[in-house]
Structure 1
Amino acid sequence: MSTSASAPPEPRPPGRVRLEDVAAAAGVSRTSASRVMLGQGKVSDRTRRRVLAVADELGYVTNVAASELASGGSSTVGLLLRDASNPAYGLLFSELQKAGHAAGVTLLSMTIKHDDQGRQQVASLHRLMGMRVAGLIVATGGVTSDQLEPFRDRLPIIRAGRPESSGRIHAVSYDEEDAARRLAEHILELGHTDVAVQTARAEDSYPEFVRSTVMTQLLESRGATVHRLEYRRGHDAMDESVDLARRGRVSAVMVPSDLRQLTLIRRLHEAGLRTPEDVATTGCDGILPGIDLLGLTTMRIAVEDVAERTIANIARMIGATGIGDDAGSGGSAEAGPGDPAGGRVVHERLPGRFIQGRTAGPPRTTGRTPA
């Protein structure tokens, strides 16, 4: 019995199926098959359905890197993300993926939770480069500008989220200074004059360092007495915060993240102190699920806007899309490869939204017994 020419082709081991095999079985050119597998246009719906059906039958998997190398271009960008279990970074990851898909940019991601002075994160950037990505997005506060310098001359690179102090590295960041000022002004408006501020070290978390530093500076400039409590790995500054509140030395404690604020509130309650009746607290990020039910006083950082602007800029750098208006502000003429801003370094800072919450109220006027 003869076999019909239209019978389904016999499946082959996935690693041995070539694009030429798919094209021949589908009765189309290799170019048409390639366009279908890469999601490009210029093919009919009927051809697309036929090619995809045959590819599925054969077990064909597109080698995106090889296809992009063959075409002389790439739309794949490496993304280094710090601690995706953190709600703020988790949302940023999702929004970057969403914006990347809309812009035709594929993100190849790696994440690091704990690191020693950024060494593991720098190693991850090298690994991403080894995968022949067209550019890099660095969404972590744990890598310094000096550590990024060797990369900027080799391929387009941009920070997402963290403010960038260097005049040579592109960045789209949350306006951490604005967030800190608005929180500190709220505490002052409530009437607090004795405040504890938990402060971060720049090498541990640059965004939290900026937030805590600006909070402290503004409070002191307005005449408040500020108790600076530095935290680091192995020392969370919570005991000192609770002790100052218990002894009536402070009426408010400001911390630079909502996760720390929740820990602080728990520790205060364990010590028999109520929030905000006995001590006011503030945090920052505004991303935690159910934050409206928790009633935290905080700033909601502009995650969606940062993701959209980051992708728009990196897409221009690698030539993946024609998105956008003039990008960024400020910067020097040494922008590095793929400059999207006419010779200037992109430094965009996007403000967030204040959430008043219920954890910060006026200072208690009776019953305080300062030590």
Structure 2
Amino acid sequence: MSVEDDPAGDGDAAAPDAPSSLTMEDVAAAAGVSRTSVSRVMLGQKKVSEDTRRRVFAAADRLGYVPNVLASELASRGTSTIGLLLRDAANPAYGLLFTQLQEAAHAADLTLVSMTVTADNRGQRQVAGLHRLMGMRVGGLIVATGGVTSEQLEPFCSRIPIIRAGRPETTEHIHAVSYDEVHAGRTLAEHVADAGHRDVAIVVTAEGDSYPEFVRGTTMAATLAGRGVRIIPVPVGAGPRGGVDEAVALATEGRVSAIMCPSDLRQLEVLRSLAAAGVSVPGDVSVTGCDGVLHGADLLGLTTYRIPVEQLAVRTVARMAELLAARPGAGVVAERLPGVLVPGRTVGPPSSRKEP
């Protein structure tokens, strides 16, 4: 519903067959509260008591009132609704981030309108999602995906406050609160090198497919090379299972004593294939992942790196609130949050097994 459809500026919607248009004033009168209180309740804000909240909802139910929240905010020039573009929510790392962003937004009296994109072609579907969110007249955008490039995001920046969540930013004028992927890659590589491994396969994701995983993989390679370790890169796109078969083959042939993966999901695929091939972990080969948010990862004993999802969500929402308030002199947001190593049972010293 647009402003033109709501000449009274209430942002209220009535059923097509209703004898008269119900407004927030009608609900306020029925509940015995102010129109401002009704508006706050309908927007999910916390600046009302539980008693007021119950009375407003009861009155709205009796009257059959249905609010148009986006139109209401547009009429009042409000900016409490934020668009969220999220990479595949089925991925545990993104699913947890979605939950944490929702909780942080609620605590800040902000409302998130979200879209999620799974399979994509060079970020085209994700860019289309940004356009759709913009069409909803949201007050700002949180972009929580590694599949949209800086070049694709730049045209939106002059129109609305935008902040990246999770993906490191490659320019100096796009706001971002990200995981410190360089710290992740370096920490994991040093752990593998400290265990004594000197021949390591690294599953590397292309930059255009996932920039965070690309940074992790390239950092692992650079760190290990600096420690004198021989590296065999395995491109994610080099096979029907994204590099898994190639990496496992290197291990079964005795050419590497460790396999480093850019995510825990890919680590699990490698572990399944190694088990099917009769290769012992970590007896014959060590395996690492990254993210550290899988349920039961501690029981599986995965060696991984825990990204600070909860902290990132809180910082992203706080920074967005600052951008919406247009506080002068804030500058470009550029935060990178380090996580922690989770030393599990999937990494041990290299075995004495020789190449057949």
- How does the TM-score come out when normalised to structure 1? 0.86
Find the counterpart in structure 1 of residue 335 from structure 2: 348
- Please say if 1:276 is aligned against 2:282: yes
Does 30-39 or 157-166 show the bigger shift?
30-39
> Contact (CA 8 Å) 2:162, 2:174: kept in 1 or not?
yes
Find the counterpart in structure 1 of residue 207 from structure 2: 202
Find the counterpart in structure 1 of residue 3 from structure 2: none
Take 2:82 and 2:63, find their aligned partners in 1: how far apart are those partners?
A: 29
Q: CA distance change for structure 1 residues 47 and 185 in 2, over 3 Å: closer, same or farther?
A: closer
- Please say if 1:69 is aligned against 2:55: no
- Pick aligned residue for 1:236 from 242, 251, 263: 242
Q: Map of 1:44-55 to 2, 5 A cutoff?
A: 48-55=53-60
Find the counterpart in structure 2 of residue 3 from structure 1: none
Q: CA distance change for structure 1 residues 68 and 185 in 2, over 3 Å: closer, same or farther?
A: same
Quick check: which has more Rg, 1 or 2?
Answer: 1
Find the counterpart in structure 1 of residue 9 from structure 2: none
Deviations 1:7-65 (A, max 9, x none): xxxxx958753323323444555445434444568877765544332111122122211
- Please say if 1:249 is aligned against 2:235: no
User: How many residue pairs align between the two structures?
Assistant: 339
The aligned amino acid for 2:141 is L
Deviations 1:164-193 (A, max 9, x none): 111111100111110111110011111000
Q: CA distance change for structure 1 residues 363 and 311 in 2, over 3 Å: closer, same or farther?
A: same
Take 2:77 and 2:218, find their aligned partners in 1: how far apart are those partners?
A: 47
Take 2:244 and 2:57, find their aligned partners in 1: how far apart are those partners?
A: 57
CA RMSD, aligned part only?
2.1
Find the counterpart in structure 1 of residue 229 from structure 2: 224
- Please say if 1:21 is aligned against 2:26: yes
- How far the C-alpha of 1:195 sits from its partner, in A, is 0.6
Does 18-27 or 236-245 show the bigger shift?
18-27
The secondary structure found in structure 2 opposite 1:202 is coil
Q: CA distance change for structure 1 residues 33 and 300 in 2, over 3 Å: closer, same or farther?
A: closer
Take 2:45 and 2:224, find their aligned partners in 1: how far apart are those partners?
A: 56
The aligned amino acid for 1:229 is V
The aligned amino acid for 1:287 is V
Find the counterpart in structure 2 of residue 369 from structure 1: 355
Q: CA distance change for structure 1 residues 231 and 29 in 2, over 3 Å: closer, same or farther?
A: closer
The secondary structure found in structure 2 opposite 1:278 is coil
Q: Percent identity?
A: 61
Q: CA distance change for structure 1 residues 29 and 177 in 2, over 3 Å: closer, same or farther?
A: closer
Take 1:44 and 1:229, find their aligned partners in 2: how far apart are those partners?
A: 57
Find the counterpart in structure 2 of residue 59 from structure 1: 64
Take 1:94 and 1:105, find their aligned partners in 2: how far apart are those partners?
A: 14
The secondary structure found in structure 2 opposite 1:78 is strand
Q: Map of 1:143-154 to 2, 5 A cutoff?
A: 143-154=148-159
Q: CA distance change for structure 1 residues 63 and 250 in 2, over 3 Å: closer, same or farther?
A: same
Deviations 1:230-289 (A, max 9, x none): 112845112221111111111001011000000001111111101100000000000000
Q: Map of 1:110-121 to 2, 5 A cutoff?
A: 110-121=115-126
- Please say if 1:182 is aligned against 2:169: no
Unaligned runs of 5+ in 2: 1-13
- Please say if 1:303 is aligned against 2:309: yes
Deviations 1:292-332 (A, max 9, x none): 1110000000000110100000011112xxxxxxxxxxxxx
> Contact (CA 8 Å) 2:44, 2:109: kept in 1 or not?
no
Find the counterpart in structure 2 of residue 211 from structure 1: 216
- Pick aligned residue for 2:146 from 141, 157, 173: 141
The aligned amino acid for 1:175 is D
